[in-house]
C-alpha cells in the first residue's frame, strides 16, 4: 500500500533561517506529488505540485520542492523563512494508477519565531 512519511512533526525556526521539510513516499510507479499548506485559521491549500518535467518545482511564496526519484523523496525548501510561513505543511502523493485517491502525510507544524 502507498504511504507518505514526513520526518518532522514539529519544526521551530527563526526568521531568515533556511527550511527543508522531508517527505518520502512508498510506491514504485509513476507518482504525482503535492505539498499543501494550512495557515492558522485557514483551509488547506496547494503550495506546489509535480507531475512531470523539471524535478525542481517552484511554488508560491518562494517555496520549492525537488523530486528525487531514486530516493522516493519530495522535500520542500525555502531559503529564508518569514514569520508568516508559520503553518502546517502536508506532503501528498497520487499514483497515476490511483485515480482520484491522494495519500497525505501526517503533516509538519512549522513555527517561525520573529
Partner 1 sequence: DAMVIQNPRYQVTQFGKPVTLSCSQTLNHNVMYWYQQKSSQAPKLLFHYYDKDFNNEADTPDNFQSRRPNTSFCFLDIRSPGLGDAAMYLCATSSGTGVATDTQYFGPGTRLTVL
Report the interface residues with partner 1, using CB under 8 A: 4, 9, 32, 34, 36, 42-46, 49, 51, 90, 94-96, 98-107
> Among 16, 15, 41, 39, which Cα is nearest to 89's?
39
Nearer to partner 1, 51 or 111 (CB): 51
Q: How far is the CB of 94 from partner 1 (least distance, A)?
A: 4
Q: Compute CA 88 distance to the chain's CA centroid, rounded to the nearest angstrom.
A: 10
Give min distance, CB of 42 to partner 1, in A. Answer: 8
Contact 87, 96 (CB under 8 A): no
Q: Which three cell numbers stand for residue 58?
A: 517552484
Q: Which three cell numbers stand for residue 94?
A: 497520487
- Smallest gap from Cβ 62 to partner 1, in A, equals 19
Nearer to partner 1, 28 or 99 (CB): 99
Nearer to partner 1, 40 or 114 (CB): 40
Smallest gap from Cβ 26 to partner 1, in A, equals 14
C-alpha grid cell for residue 107? 503533516
Beta-carbon contacts of residue 82 (< 8 Å; ≥ 6 apart)? 15, 112
Closer of 75 and 94 to partner 1 (Cβ): 94
Amino acid at each position: 500500500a502507498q504511504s507518505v512519511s514526513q520526518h518532522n512533526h514539529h519544526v521551530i525556526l527563526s526568521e531568515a533561517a533556511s527550511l527543508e521539510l522531508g517527505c518520502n513516499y512508498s510506491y514504485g510507479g509513476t507518482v504525482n506529488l503535492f505539498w499543501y499548506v494550512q495557515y492558522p485559521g485557514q483551509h488547506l491549500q496547494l503550495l506546489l505540485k509535480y507531475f512531470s518535467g523539471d524535478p525542481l518545482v517552484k511554488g508560491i511564496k518562494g517555496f520549492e520542492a525537488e523530486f528525487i526519484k531514486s530516493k522516493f523523496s519530495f522535500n520542500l525548501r525555502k531559503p529564508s523563512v518569514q514569520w508568516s510561513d508559520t503553518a502546517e505543511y502536508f506532503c501528498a502523493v497520487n499514483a497515476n494508477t490511483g485515480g482520484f485517491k491522494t495519500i497525505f502525510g501526517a503533516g509538519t507544524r512549522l513555527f517561525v519565531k520573529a
